[in-house]
């Protein structure tokens, strides 16, 4: 828990969210400002700021986020159409919350980005 972290506050129910998925490693909830018909945020329960802090010990949880996000994409029926998993890091990528997270975006064509 990092005291001034928005996603830690969501994890500790100090800020409300709607649970989409939860297990011992991660929690998922809808993005408050969705950029696509389906826009879900997946966060590890352990606080760390970004991809720059992925240690060997954290490889498991980061891979887990990707697997679970793809599973939720299937459950939401956006797997065949396709979806995007995004992990922003620092200012040029537009990271605003410094608790590592994976965005799941889909449900309509997303446009080219990379």
Residues of the shown chain interacting with Zn ion in the complex, contacts defined by CB under 5 A:
2, 5, 7-8, 47, 99
47 binds, among ligand AMP, Zn ion, none (CB under 5 to 8 A by kind): Zn ion
52 binds, among Zn ion, ligand AMP, none (CB under 5 to 8 A by kind): none
Q: Which positions ≥6 away from 58 have C-beta within 8 Å?
A: 44, 46, 48
99 binds, among ligand AMP, Zn ion, none (CB under 5 to 8 A by kind): Zn ion
Q: How many CB atoms lie within 10 A of CB 111?
A: 7
Q: Which positions ≥6 away from 86 have C-beta within 8 Å?
A: 102, 103, 105
Q: Which of 60, 74, 73 is nearest to 24 (CA)?
A: 60
**Count of residues interacting with ligand AMP (CB under 6 A):** 13
> Could you give the residue numbers annotated as active site?
101
85 lies in the binding site for ligand AMP (CB under 6 A): no
Q: For ligand AMP, which residue of 31, 46, 66, 110 counts as binding (CB under 6 A)?
A: 31
């Amino acid at each position: 828990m990092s005291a001034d972290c928005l996603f830690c506050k969501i994890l500790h129910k100090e800020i409300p969210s709607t649970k989409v998925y939860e297990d011992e490693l991660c929690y998922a909830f809808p993005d408050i400002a969705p950029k696509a018909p389906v826009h879900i945020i997946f966060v590890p329960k352990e606080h760390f700021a970004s991809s720059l802090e992925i240690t060997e010990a954290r490889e498991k949880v980061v891979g887990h986020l990707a697997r679970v996000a793809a599973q939720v994409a299937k459950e939401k029926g956006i797997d065949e159409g396709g979806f995007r998993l995004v992990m922003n890091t620092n200012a040029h990528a537009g990271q605003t919350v410094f608790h590592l997270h994976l965005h799941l975006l889909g449900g309509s064509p997303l446009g080219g980005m990379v």
